[in-house]
């Protein structure tokens, strides 16, 4: 950061450090500094102005985090990164949108436009704001629900919720609590249903589909999802029907290579040693042929001691 000595007050220095070298005109005024001085530094090449009224106290390129800070300060220092930008900062997703999403209090209406900045408004921003994160952003649970609220497709809703839990960034109870605090949100019924299913252990869209379209729809016995089995190595079983010595593994990736393939073989070999049978399915079978999967699974379970009867899910179901 390049700050002339006569202006390098502790307050200015601390603010620039916290804001990654960014400051807005209003903050300069609150420190007793005239923004005209900052404009002279910009003209002299010592500082730069990424957005109107926002200054960077250095001359080099702005990194992603600094660019996010600049967008926040352009809206208002009380704003936070949100939606896809907050998801990126939380590690929920990669950078899926080069635009910077910022949420401001409803009392602060932005009437101008900045390229690459999308402004949202929220009534409950003080409650959804993460207390310590830098750059400022919405809490993880509120970030997920913001993505849900703007989702166009049901599968995008499913992906946002399951990914957050699968990455262990949050839990179903915490998401449910955040959902209860929202008066209005799209897809509420779907998310409430999903959280109940995820609480049973289904942690991906593929696992949710198996739970709903295969197991429940055909009244198969309830499996234990994401079951931990300890031995020489700890293994995780996608769906374990332990009383019937049968396991279901759901391969969500197009192809398992390297360590993933070795891990699959270790699980299958461990199942064989323990006397369990392993059925392995992917997206094509679970989403495209759930009835055939249920029929096959029911046959194996009955061979292994299940005394129940599967149920046809519809007139075309082969069971």
Residue pLDDT, tens place only, 47-60: 999 999 999 999 99
Query: What pTM did the predictor assign?
Result: 0.73
The answer to whether residue 42 is domain-embedded is: yes
Count of other CB atoms within 10 angstroms of residue 126:
9
pLDDT exceeds 50 at position 273: no
Q: What is the C-alpha to C-alpha distance for residues 277 and 71, in angstroms, rounded to an integer?
A: 55
- Would you state the pLDDT for residue 8? 62
Residues 286, 235 share a domain: yes
66 pLDDT band (50/70/90 cuts)? very high
What percentage of the chain has pLDDT greater than the value 90? 62
Do residues 112 and 165 share a domain? yes
Asked if residues 239 and 250 have their Cβ atoms less than 8 Å apart, the reply is yes
DSSP letter, residue 222? P
Domain count, the chain: 3
Q: What is the pLDDT of residues 225-272, one digit of tens each?
A: 888 776 556 778 899 999 999 999 987 643 334 444 445 545 554 555
Residue 103 phi, psi (nearest 5)? -110, 130
Beta bridge partners of 236: 228
Q: Which residue has the higher pLDDT, 72 or 207?
A: 72
Query: Domain for residue 73, yes or no?
Result: no
CATH classification at residue 277: 3.40.960.10
Range of weakest confidence among 56-65, 226-235, 298-307: 226-235
Question: Is residue 194 located within the same domain as residue 211?
Answer: no
Mean pLDDT confidence for 282-286: 84
Same domain, 85 and 45: no
Residues 192 and 217 in one domain: no
Query: Does residue 187 form part of some domain?
Result: yes
**Banded model confidence at residue 223, pLDDT cuts 50, 70, 90:** very high
Does a structural domain hold residue 315?
no
Distance of CA 39 to CAs 9, 35, 208, 250, 290, Å?
A: 18, 6, 56, 59, 65
85 lies in the same domain as 181: yes
Are 195 and 210 members of one domain?
no
Q: Are 136 and 143 in contact (CB under 8 A)?
A: no
Of 198, 170, 143, residue with least CA distance to 206? 198
Residues 92, 116, single domain; the answer is yes
Identify whether the C-beta of residue 301 lies closer than 8 Å to the C-beta of residue 220: yes
In this structure, is residue 13 part of a structural domain?
Answer: yes
89 lies in the same domain as 137: yes
**Pair 121, 219 in one domain:** no
Instruction: Please report whether residue 309 resides in a domain.
Output: no
What is the token pair recorded at 247? 């396991």
Sorting pLDDT into bands at 50, 70 and 90, what band is 203? Answer: confident
> Residue range 212-229: average pLDDT?
91
The reply to whether 38 falls in a domain is yes
Q: What is the mean pLDDT of residues 15-19?
A: 96
Same domain, 182 and 216: no
277/70: higher pLDDT: 70
Residue 102: which domain range?
A: 79-199
Angle at 250 between CA 90 and CA 146, to 5 degrees: 30
CA distance 125 to 120: 11
pLDDT of residue 190: 83
Q: Is 88 helix (H, G, I), strand (E, B) or coil?
A: helix
CB of 206 closer than 8 Å to CB of 250: yes
User: What average pLDDT score do residues 286-307 get?
Assistant: 93
d(CA 108, CA 127): 17
In the chain, what is the straight-line distance between the N-terminal and C-terminal CA atoms, in Å? 70
In a domain? residue 216 = yes
Tokens describing residue 111: 């009437």
Inter-residue contact 207 to 238 (CB < 8 Å) = yes
Helices 140-150/172-180 angle, 10° precision: 70
Contact 210, 239 (CB under 8 A): yes
CA dist 108 and 120 (Å) reads: 10
Based on the fold, state whether residues 92 and 190 are members of the same structural domain. yes
């Amino acid at each position: 950061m390049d700050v002339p000595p006569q202006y390098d007050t502790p307050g200015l220095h601390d603010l620039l450090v916290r804001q990654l070298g960014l400051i807005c005109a209003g903050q300069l005024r609150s420190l007793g500094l005239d923004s005209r001085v900052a404009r002279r530094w910009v003209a002299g090449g010592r500082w730069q102005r990424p957005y109107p009224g926002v200054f960077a106290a250095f001359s080099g390129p702005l990194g992603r985090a600094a660019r996010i800070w600049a967008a926040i300060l352009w809206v208002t220092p009380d704003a936070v990164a949100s939606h896809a930008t907050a998801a990126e900062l939380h590690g929920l997703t990669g950078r899926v949108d080069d635009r910077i999403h910022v949420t401001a209090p409803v009392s602060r209406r932005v009437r101008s436009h900045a390229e690459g900045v999308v402004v949202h408004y929220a009534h409950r921003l003080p409650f959804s704001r993460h207390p310590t994160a830098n750059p400022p952003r919405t809490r993880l649970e509120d970030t997920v629900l913001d993505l849900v609220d703007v989702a166009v497709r049901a599968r995008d809703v499913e992906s946002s919720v399951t990914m957050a839990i699968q990455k262990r960034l949050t839990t179903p109870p915490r998401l449910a609590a955040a959902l209860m605090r929202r008066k209005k949100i799209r897809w509420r019924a779907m998310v409430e249903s999903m959280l109940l299913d995820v609480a049973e252990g289904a942690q991906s869209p593929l696992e949710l589909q198996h739970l709903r379209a295969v197991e429940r729809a055909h009244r198969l016995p309830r499996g234990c999802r994401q079951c931990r089995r300890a031995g020489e190595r700890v293994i995780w079983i996608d769906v374990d029907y332990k009383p019937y010595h049968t396991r279901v593994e759901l391969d969500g990736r197009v192809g398992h290579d390297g360590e993933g393939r070795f891990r699959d073989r270790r699980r299958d070999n461990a199942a064989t040693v323990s006397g369990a049978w392993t059925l392995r399915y992917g997206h094509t079978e679970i989403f495209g042929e759930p009835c055939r999967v249920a029929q096959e699974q029911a046959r194996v379970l009955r061979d292994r001691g299940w005394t129940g009867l599967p149920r046809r899910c519809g007139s075309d179901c082969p069971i």
